[in-house]
Amino acid sequence: MNAHVLENEIGGGTTVSDWVVVDQSMIDRFADCTNDHQWIHVDRERTERESPFGKPVAHGFLTLSLLSSLSYDCGAWPVHLGTIINYGLDKLRFLAPVKAGSRVRLRSTLKGVEEKAPGRLLVRHHGEVEIEGEDTPALAAETIIMLILEEKAA
C-alpha cells in the first residue's frame, strides 16, 4: 500500500476526541509520577492566594501525555492498519494553562504520510488540545507516528 492510497484511507479531515476532565486528582498523580510537586500544580490554598490563575494548573507535560489516548479516541491513528510507534513531535507549543477541573479534547488534522521504507510510513498530524470555554488551546503540536503496516497473509 503506497503513501497516497494510505492517506486516502486515513482521511484528510479533522477529527475531534471526546472531552476529558483534568481534575486535581489527575494532576496530583502526575506530580507523584514525575516528582514535580511545584506549588502551582498541587497547592490549592497557595494558588488561590498567589497564582494568576486562581487555582492549580496541570503540568504542560501532563496535557502533552494525554495526546496518545485522545488521538486514539478521535480516530486520528489508523490502528486497524498495523503497529503504531511514537516517532516524535515537531513545533510543540504550550499556549494556555489547563486549570484543575477543566475539560480538554484533541482536534487533529492529517498533514501527510511519507513512506520511509517498504511497509513503514511516517504519519503526521497537526493537533491542538482545546480547553472547553477557552479561545486559546492548551497546546499545539505536530505529532508523528511510525506506522508499520500489517502484512496480509496470502
Which residues face 108 on adjacent strands? 15, 127
Mean pLDDT to the nearest integer, 21-34: 98
Contact criterion met (CB below 8 Å) for 64 and 139: yes
Other residues' Cβ atoms within 10 Å of the Cβ of residue 118 = 7
Stated pTM of the model: 0.88
**Segment 63-101, tens digit of pLDDT:** 999 999 998 888 766 666 788 899 999 999 999 999 999
What single string gives the DSSP state of each residue in 62-99?
HHHHTHHHHHHHHT-S-GGGEEEEEEEEEEEEE-S--B
Contacts of 38 (CB under 8 A, 6+ apart): 31
pLDDT at 153: 47
| 148 has a pLDDT exceeding 80 | yes
